Structure 1
Amino acid sequence: MPETLNVQTRDDFGKGAARRIRAEHQIPAVLYGHGMDPLHLTLPGHETALAARNSNALLELVLPGGDSHLALIKEIQRHPLRRTLTHLDLIAVRRGEKVQVDIPVILVGEPTAPAIAVVDAQTLTIEVDALKVPESIEVDVEEKEEGYQLFAGDVKLPAGAELVTEAELLVVAVQLPRVDAELEAAIEENEAAGAELGADAEDSEGESTEESADEE
């Protein structure tokens, strides 16, 4: 079901206008698609932030006159430090329409230790009914052994969804952690460097002793 937001249209643009909107705890946005002229909107801050926790949230935008538009979040802009919403790009959709969206891949379960699951594809692109866009695609790695691989074409998709991503794309691989080998190599390198420095110090000390004996 879509999240309903009561929105306002606006005709003031630019950075100054956007700052004023955000100072009032609202969020500037633009709606486009289906050949319509871009519609510049002001969205309620708190409700929009809650809805935007799902990057593919379906919104029902209710205008002051009572008209409404269905829309998907196309792009979210955030403050670089506070990570608060600063602007939304929205794309208009229609009921029964199929849309292409990027859906995040979420792992479920744990592989057989000491192996770990590595996600190679963070998202998969699918085509799905605009009213049935999933929040995520789950991949089960419970008790999977080292060497297990899952490709996009083998991922179970929600009913009615079609894969757009290339089927041969590697999504998840189960493998032994490489950090131990890297750490061991770093330790060996440090030990070798330490031994070399110790040998140099001994040589220097020997040379100094010999020079002192010669001076005597």
Structure 2
Amino acid sequence: MSNATIGSIGIIGAGALGSNFARVLAKSGMAATIANSRGPASLAALVEELGPTIKAGTVQEAASADIVLVAVRWVDAEKVLGGLPAWNGRIVIDGTNPVEFIDPASPDANDASNPLAAYGIKAADLGGQHSSQIIAQLVPGARLVKAFNHLDVNVLPEPEVAGGKRVLFYSGDDATAKAAVRGLIEAAGFFAIDLGTLDVGGPLASLPFGALAMHNLVRI
């Protein structure tokens, strides 16, 4: 499957998830525009590494694509997404996880009630919602699909392993949007598994406590 079939792809965020997602696209020969808060010039080394199919752009340019991966830190999501133009039915892939990084010098770093403290993170307080409900509020008018968030980002550039394909979960409420994201997942070399609606699949696959989070499954 080509970009012509899938549509244009944008990546908002060039950290571990955004850059590794760009790597797997480049490996598959798919084009994308990647952006971060520091501007295109800061991504010169990354796009040089990835080759001609991946270009650096502004956040607004990346956000104008047909399919846009949101790959920002949870604490930055509202600031990054809040000022963007109307989505008008375009597809947003929510790759975020509701975790916050802990200051090693803060009391949170030694919080015995937090099983994640040893990893330098804590679960964000979502007020009873799941993360995609909150992201959906930040991208009004978009068709939201949860994907690319549950797997160790360092293995993303290697979708095929041990004679099989890594499993990527996805969920959403719009059948057409889900089909497009499934096509992207499969074109990148993964095996896609539909977890159903956002209310069902979102919590299952979300870090830190989702039942399917960090499960590195391979379909042989």
Q: TM-score, normalised by structure 2?
A: 0.24
Question: TM-score of the superposition, structure 1-length normalised?
Answer: 0.24
Greater relative CO, 1 or 2 (CA 8 Å, sep 6+): 2
